[in-house]
Chain A
Amino acid sequence: MRKFWMVPVAVFVAGLLLTESLDNEFYFFAGYVILQGLIMGTAWNILGGFTGYVNFGSAGFFAVGAYTSIALNKAYALPLPILILASGLVCGIIGLGAGYLTLRLKGIYFAISTLAMAIVFETFINNWEYVGGASGAYILTPADSLFFSSYVELLFMVMLIIAIAAVCFARYLAVSRIGQGLTAIRDDELAAECMGVPTLRLKLISATAMGVFMGMAGAPYPFFVTFVDPLSAFSLFIAVNSIAMPLIGGTKVWYGPVIGALILGLTQEITTVTISSELNLLIVGVVLIGFITLAPAGIVGLVQDFNRKRLRAKAGD
């Protein structure tokens, strides 16, 4: 689809228009949260859905991204784009390093090691006084929001750009030769290796990419919430969400996490406003169990199944 570049441009422009037309800041708070889920889900899916290696430690990457942002901001007061790139770099390296150590293991061991890694990071940050340790850190909202009417609108646009980048990258990966290699690894790693696919190398690319985008998703977080502590940054909720969203949408395609993020994210925002935010925890847990038991291929999978049955029925006539 050579004209695809028009889509991200259109989305970007639409975002700008929203910031101009909508006055109620709440929309941008909600939008930020949904976009955060979208980025995390898309990033997770690169290693989880495309390559078949499930990561339970998403919150680890996210939080390290957030804390890198805090630490650098405290030390050098750098502008947000630099913080984002720095967080992406740091988490990308972590993804590469941890991947090198654990991606040679079977999928199950890899999954457990991701959880272990996240908690190790959490323990270190709990003990790191420079960024507030267990008590947390306060971040001041910068006064300068460029040409936007509020800082939240700026953050929203920043996340939108990161989200566009993540989704475009995932799409590029999916349609490219690398993507075919990843799918082969997911379907049958041994056969893939015997067909010439450099499995370790591709898995590492996948893990690094996931790390980069998760880190970038975490970088603006301190400015969004203004108070960060390890408990919230490393929250298991983030990890579960980043798995549930691709699962709902469909893990085998690049647009699956987008669908899942929009559906689940919207549901969660509505629930927070109407009932309670704690209920979201229960919803995402139940949704995860429900989908993985009944519809592991997500909504996309359900649609594909439906189409296949319809074709088969037609052929039978």
Chain B
Amino acid sequence: MAEQLLDVRNLTKRFGGFIALDGVDLHLDKGERLGLIGPNGSGKTTMINCISGALFNDEGAIDFEGRDITKLRAFERARLGIARSFQIPKPFRSMTVIENLFVPLEYAAWDRIDHSRVTEEAMEILERMGLVDLAHTNSADLTQIDMRKLELARALAARPDLLISDEAMAGLSNEEVDEILDILFALNEDGVAVIMIEHIMRAVMRYSERIVVLDAGRKIADGSPDEVVSNPDVERAYLGE
């Protein structure tokens, strides 16, 4: 029986009169690969903002590793093992690539790593991501794809049990998409659960063990990729009536 990692119940978030999320349930097992899809504005980013703690939900509860994290601030959740990358990369622009990794290593992952090995750990991650040669380059000077990789590298450096990747592949070429997918697969093999938000369908289909579909703040499908793809509600949501 797979162990439950994340349990989101009845998540509701409003912005003034606008209901961004309406009673969404989501569960995730340890090491599971979940795809989160839905049309624009369906609430995907709001969902992960609520899970990561960047926003606080109005109703509902979030459990992580058996513990209620609904009221915890984002940095506390990061320390517990939830990491996320941002849709539009947000590097620490005055720092080099490797310095960017020091921050999550020294904060989010501080209790989980050997304090004397911070630089080595950072270099190891850069090697996995293919960014070693850029270790001492200023992060503001990176190309698009390298910045995306840095986003992921930084989330990895937080030594998470759950990684949420928010459209890490948007606008990338086919080879670049495969590069990122390989990294995410390798990461998953280490036992990290991944929630992938993506619009690139072939990536989602290939990567996910399970897919959750949101539409206008509600969950309309939750199942294997084949089930979801043949679900008429999903088709309707994307293509309209």
Residues of A whose CB lies within 8 Å of any CB of B are 177, 180-181, 183-184, 186-188, 190-199, 252
Contacts of A186 in B (CB 8 A): 94
Question: From residue A175, how far is it (CB to closest CB) to chain B in Å?
Answer: 12
Q: Which of B100-108, B170-178, B193-201 contacts A (4 or more CB under 8 A)?
A: B100-108
Are A195 and B107 within 8 A (Cβ)? yes
Given contacts A187-B94, A188-B90, A188-B92, contact A196 B110 (CB under 8 A): yes
- Inter-chain CA distance A186–B53, complex, in Å, is 20
Chain B, Cβ-Cβ closest to A190 = B54
Are A184 and B92 within 8 A (Cβ)? yes
Task: Among A184, A190, A198, A252, point to the contact of B103 (Cβ < 8 A).
Answer: A184
30 contacts between A and B (CB under 8 A): A177-B106, A180-B99, A180-B103, A180-B106, A184-B103, A186-B94, A187-B93, A187-B95, A188-B92, A191-B86, A191-B90, A192-B92, A193-B75, A194-B52, A194-B53, A194-B54, A194-B74, A194-B78, A194-B83, A194-B84, A195-B107, A195-B154, A195-B158, A196-B78, A196-B103, A196-B109, A196-B158, A197-B75, A197-B107, A198-B75
Are A190 and B108 within 8 A (Cβ)? no
Q: How many residue-residue contacts, CB under 8 A, span A and B? A: 73
Q: How large is the interface on B (under 10, 10 to 19, 20 to 34, 35 or more residues)?
A: 20 to 34
Q: Does B67 sit within 8 A of A, measured CB to CB?
A: no
Q: Does B9 sit within 8 A of A, measured CB to CB?
A: no
Contacts of B107 in A (CB 8 A): 181, 195-198
Contacts A188-B91, A193-B74, A196-B78 known; list 8 others, CB within 8 Å.
A183-B92, A187-B95, A188-B93, A194-B53, A194-B83, A195-B103, A195-B154, A199-B75
- Inter-chain CA distance A197–B104, complex, in Å, is 8
Are B92 and A187 within 8 A (Cβ)? yes
Chain B, Cβ-Cβ closest to A187 = B92
Most buried by A among B54, B74, B91, B108: B74
Contacts of B52 in A (CB 8 A): 194
Are A197 and B103 within 8 A (Cβ)? yes
Closest 3 CB pairs of A and B: A196-B108, A196-B107, A196-B78
Contacts of A184 in B (CB 8 A): 92, 95, 103
Contacts of A180 in B (CB 8 A): 99, 102-103, 106
- Inter-chain CA distance A188–B151, complex, in Å, is 13
- Inter-chain CA distance A54–B74, complex, in Å, is 24
Q: Does B30 sit within 8 A of A, measured CB to CB?
A: no
Question: From residue B139, how far is it (CB to closest CB) to chain A in Å?
Answer: 9
Most buried by B among A181, A191, A252: A191
- Inter-chain CA distance A196–B111, complex, in Å, is 11
Question: From residue A254, how far is it (CB to closest CB) to chain B in Å?
Answer: 14
Most buried by B among A177, A184, A196: A196
Within B33-75, which residues are at the interface with A (CB < 8 Å)? Answer: 52-54, 73-75
- Inter-chain CA distance A316–B32, complex, in Å, is 47
- Inter-chain CA distance A177–B108, complex, in Å, is 12
Contacts of A195 in B (CB 8 A): 75, 78, 83, 103-104, 107-108, 154, 158
Given contacts A183-B92, A183-B94, contact A196 B84 (CB under 8 A): no
Contacts of B99 in A (CB 8 A): 180
Are B95 and A183 within 8 A (Cβ)? yes
- Inter-chain CA distance A198–B74, complex, in Å, is 9
- Inter-chain CA distance A216–B102, complex, in Å, is 34
Contacts of A194 in B (CB 8 A): 52-54, 74-75, 78, 83-84
Are B54 and A193 within 8 A (Cβ)? yes
Question: From residue A198, how far is it (CB to closest CB) to chain B in Å?
Answer: 5
- Inter-chain CA distance A194–B86, complex, in Å, is 10
